[in-house]
Amino acid sequence: MTPASVTELGVRLRRGETTPAALAAAARRDLEAVAGLNAVLRFTDSLAERQAERAARMLAQRPEEAGPLCGVPFAYKDVLCVEGVETTAGSRILQGFVPPYTGTALQRLLDAGAVPVAVTNCDEFAMGSSNENSAHGPVGNPWDPGRVPGGSSGGSAAVVAAGAVPFSLGTDTGGSIRQPASLCGVTGFKPTYGRVSRYGLIAFASSLDQIGPLSRSVEDAALVYDAVAGHDPRDSTSSPAPVEPAGPTLRAGIAGMRLGIPREYMAEGLEPGVRAAVEAAFGELERLGASLAEISLPSTEAALSTYYIIAPAECSANLSRMDGVRFGLHVDRPSLTDTYLQTRGQGFGAEVKRRVMLGTHALSSGYYDAYYRKAQKVRTLIAQEFDRAFETVDAIVSPTSPSVAFPRGSRSDPLSMYLCDVLTLPVNLAGLPGISVPCGPSVTPGGAASGDGLPVGLQVIGPRGGDAMVLRVAHAYQAATRWHELSPPLPGTR
């Protein structure tokens, strides 16, 4: 398989060199060729067939109205609802659930003529940093199938990295688009909270979740973002503010821009190979005309504990609807209480149970003020520190993940796993846009290490509503480098 960009596929479609149906069939074959990664849960063949026919009509009858995504195949994460397609959120408790409606982000892609070909594996209810928590089994990293792809959107990142589809949709609650993008060597964009409708997203933490694209390039991510962003009256958290399209300013460059490097993000805990790759990326940004300066985000050290109060609290509330009565798994018992207990006991995995218990405890009488209310106050401090930082810098740059992809099963301690998101979750707490782009392989100065040669991600963070600017900075870096063009050494992926 040869990875192709959305733009390249669009040119081929408009020249008549291929058809939407042919591209969908090729994507299915490519996904089957990397089935050993366990990145795909189910194919959407009947939907893909109907959508390919719709795209072909759009290209033939209204070519001037057919957008850049028309006829292009894609995959999406198993937490996004599409009418008539089973959606399980990577959990046993939702087995057999077939949504009666399509979420807004997916509907906008369908209306743009894009062709969904597969549903991708993910951590159960999007809770995880390694894609080892799925009830459908773990996902392998295309660069080394024995290592994790990151989570929770690991399947969406893996299929793009393997070159099977040009883009996919994922969700990001604490880094679940950007962290797997970093570990798999692709581009992953989390828009400003409220920019993309959450209608049709199976919620994990409603004040943190955001839908976004994973792709080979920033250019492709921008095309997808422009297609799905915008106000939606069906989502009460959707921002009514006008969306600035990313396309017009994407190639404006970064000469004269001020970029901040948080000292707290470059502290102990970074793998040497990650530090070396990211510092080299900082040098490239300076060469492109940006000025870099150290800044401080003092509450960063409190962000992890803050997140793991707020996110579990919201998850415990959202997942209370998973009761085995109205949809999904049902374990019949003589009493309603026993039915609840057995259904939830058998349906939820260990990580989901852990977070539900954490959240329920934080919200319980006698602990609410000590934990949840205090965490919300710290969240406000974190957001205010970002606001102050953006008074002096245009954007913030940092590593995306403190490590490269690690071997499956190597982080059984929950805290060591939670630390994987320490550089990404502050962005969610503050509701900011952030992107991860490949910035080279990890190479340990002075000698080889076990993670050398694996992808490293550069993170760009912007102020609320600064999505177009974040994409502009990331594109400028990609236009000057070739790290995003590297392919993993799986058979057929070059």
Asked which of 249, 282, 299 is the last residue of a domain, the reply is 249
Residue 397: which domain range? 258-485
Token pair for residue 133? 């928590």
CA angle 124, 460, 481 (to 5 degrees): 105
Does the residue 42 lie in any domain? Answer: yes
Are residues 344 and 198 part of one domain? no
Are residues 207 and 166 part of one domain? yes
Are residues 179 and 110 part of one domain? yes
Are residues 368 and 269 part of one domain? yes
Are residues 452 and 354 part of one domain? yes
Q: pLDDT category, 465, cuts 50, 70, 90?
A: very high
CATH number for the domain spanning 359: value is: 3.90.1300.10
Are residues 334 and 232 part of one domain? no
Collect all residues with Cβ–Cβ distance below 8 Å to 174 and sequence separation of at least 6: 208, 307, 311, 421, 424, 425, 428
pLDDT at 297: 97
Q: Given the residues 91, 134, 152, 153, select the one marked as catalytic.
A: 152
Collect all residues with Cβ–Cβ distance below 8 Å to 94 and sequence separation of at least 6: 87, 88, 202, 322, 327, 328, 329, 347
H helix intervals, 101-197: 104-111, 154-161, 178-184
Token pair for residue 234? 């069906």
For the entire predicted model, the pTM comes to 0.96
**Which of 20-29, 158-167, 279-288, 407-416 has the lowest average pLDDT?**
407-416
pLDDT at 445: 79
Q: Tell me what the mean pLDDT of segment 39-45 comes to.
A: 98
Are residues 233 and 85 part of one domain? yes
pLDDT at 326: 86
- Examine the residue annotation and report whether 152 is marked as an active-site residue of this protein: yes
Q: Given the residues 134, 153, 176, 299, select the one marked as catalytic.
A: 176
Are residues 328 and 208 part of one domain? no
| CA-wise closest residue to 411 among 184, 150, 182 | 150
| CA-wise closest residue to 423 among 402, 442, 409 | 402
**Residues 156-168 pLDDT 10s:** 999 999 999 999 9
Q: Tell me what the mean pLDDT of segment 447-455 comes to.
A: 81
**Residues 183-209 pLDDT 10s:** 999 999 999 999 999 999 999 999 999
pLDDT at 493: 40
Q: Please name the helix (run of DSSP H) or strand (run of DSSP E) that holds residue 57, with its range, or none.
A: helix 45-61
Are residues 367 and 283 part of one domain? yes
Q: Is the pLDDT of residue 110 over 60?
A: yes
218-228 vs 467-480: helix axis angle to the nearest 10? 160
pLDDT at 2: 55
* Mean per-residue pLDDT of the chain: 95
Does the residue 465 lie in any domain? Answer: yes
Does the residue 492 lie in any domain? Answer: no
In this structure, what are the phi and psi dihedrals at residue 378, rounded to the nearest 5 degrees? -65, -35
Are residues 456 and 341 part of one domain? yes
Collect all residues with Cβ–Cβ distance below 8 Å to 161 and sequence separation of at least 6: 141, 142, 143, 149, 184, 185, 186, 487, 488
Asked which of 195, 215, 249 is the last residue of a domain, the reply is 249
- Examine the residue annotation and report whether 91 is marked as an active-site residue of this protein: no
Does the residue 114 lie in any domain? Answer: yes
Q: Tell me what the mean pLDDT of segment 45-65 comes to.
A: 94
Does the residue 390 lie in any domain? Answer: yes
| CA-wise closest residue to 324 among 343, 337, 342, 341 | 343
Q: Sign of the C-alpha dihedral, residues 229, 198, 169, 67?
A: negative
Q: Tell me what the mean pLDDT of segment 126-134 comes to.
A: 97
Are residues 218 and 73 part of one domain? yes
H helix intervals, 319-466: 336-347, 350-363, 374-389, 414-418, 425-430
3-state secondary structure of 277: helix
Does the residue 494 lie in any domain? Answer: no
pLDDT at 146: 96
Our count of domains for the chain comes to 2
- Examine the residue annotation and report whether 77 is marked as an active-site residue of this protein: yes
Asked which of 249, 281, 299 is the last residue of a domain, the reply is 249
Are residues 27 and 52 part of one domain? yes
**Residues 297-306 pLDDT 10s:** 999 999 999 9
Does the residue 408 lie in any domain? Answer: yes
Token pair for residue 408? 């499956």
| CA-wise closest residue to 158 among 179, 134, 137, 142 | 142
Burial class (CB in 10 A: 0-12, 13-18, 19+), 36: exposed
Does the residue 309 lie in any domain? Answer: yes
3-state secondary structure of 380: helix
Question: CA 234: distance to chain centroid?
Answer: 22
DSSP for 439-481, written as a single string: EEE---TTS--TTTTSEEEEEEE--TT-HHHHHHHHHHHHHH-
Q: Please name the helix (run of DSSP H) or strand (run of DSSP E) that holds residue 166, with its range, or none.
A: none
pLDDT at 494: 36
